[in-house]
């Protein structure tokens, strides 16, 4: 029994041997999972975008862009929450977001004629991690079956 126990310990040493650790690769989120985004379209044609950003990472405020993919809909006023200040070696002082972030878009649908028309909104942003890894600008297309304000 003692032999078995000692072999288990030795196997643990084997598994922890440093040559199996790949440098620079840590158990941290990547481009595909450092944030989640959920969207809610409400009456009054307000689109609420709720981001939940991993604690290791942040999104640049200036990187956000929103575009309606339907020609009749116009993205109007965008309400951003208060941002955080961040110093970049190359870009100087920039505004960023961390944690939970709620952004609200006012959609102008006055030109929409078909009441059951669908809606597609393109949302872009870009972020980095505190350990110095940045992720490619990301684009999500949000599709809604109908415009609640017109129903």
Partner 1 sequence: MNKEVLTVWVRRLLIACVVIGSVVTGILMSNTRTGLDVSAVKGAQNAQFQDLAGNWQQISHWDGSYRIVNFWATWCPPCLEEIPLFVRLQGEYKDRNVTFIGIAVDDADRVREFVRDNEINYPILIGSGDALRISEILGNKRSGLPFTVFLTPSGDLVDMHSGIVPESKVRQFVDKIR
State in angstroms the smallest separation of the CB of 80 from partner 1.
Answer: 20
Choices 40-48, 73-81, 102-110, 132-140; region in contact with partner 1 by CB under 8 A: 132-140
CB 94 within 8 A of CB 62: yes
Closest CA to 120 of 104, 141, 103, 139: 141
Of 22 and 44, CB closest to partner 1 = 22
Per CB under 8 A, 20 contacts partner 1: yes
Among residues 76, 118, 131, 141, which is the contact residue for partner 1, using CB under 8 A?
131
Alpha-carbon dihedral of residues 26, 32, 36, 41, nearest 10 degrees?
170
Per CB under 8 A, 11 contacts partner 1: yes
Q: What is the DSSP code (8-state) at residue 121?
A: E
Give the tokens for residue 57: 């990472």
CB 59 within 8 A of CB 124: no
Among residues 55, 76, 81, 137, which is the contact residue for partner 1, using CB under 8 A?
137
Of 76 and 124, CB closest to partner 1 = 124
Burial of residue 48, with CB atoms counted within 10 A of its CB: 0-12 exposed, 13-18 middle, 19 or more buried: middle
Where does this chain bind partner 1 (CB under 8 A)? 2-3, 6-7, 9-11, 13-14, 17-20, 22-26, 28-32, 88-91, 126, 128-129, 131-137
């Amino acid at each position: 029994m003692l032999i078995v126990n000692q072999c288990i310990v030795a196997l643990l040493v084997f598994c922890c041997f440093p040559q199996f650790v790949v440098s620079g690769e840590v158990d941290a989120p990547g481009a595909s999972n450092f944030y989640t985004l959920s969207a809610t379209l409400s009456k009054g044609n307000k689109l609420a975008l709720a981001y939940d950003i991993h604690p290791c990472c942040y999104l640049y405020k200036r990187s956000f862009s929103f575009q309606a993919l339907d020609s009749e809909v116009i993205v109007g006023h965008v309400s951003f929450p208060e941002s955080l200040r961040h110093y970049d070696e190359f870009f100087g002082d920039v505004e960023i977001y961390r944690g939970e972030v709620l952004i609200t878009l006012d959609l102008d649908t006055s030109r929409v004629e078909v009441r059951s028309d669908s809606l597609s909104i393109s949302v872009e942003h870009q972020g980095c991690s505190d350990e110095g890894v940045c992720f490619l600008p990301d684009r999500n297309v949000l599709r809604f079956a109908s415009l609640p304000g017109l129903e």
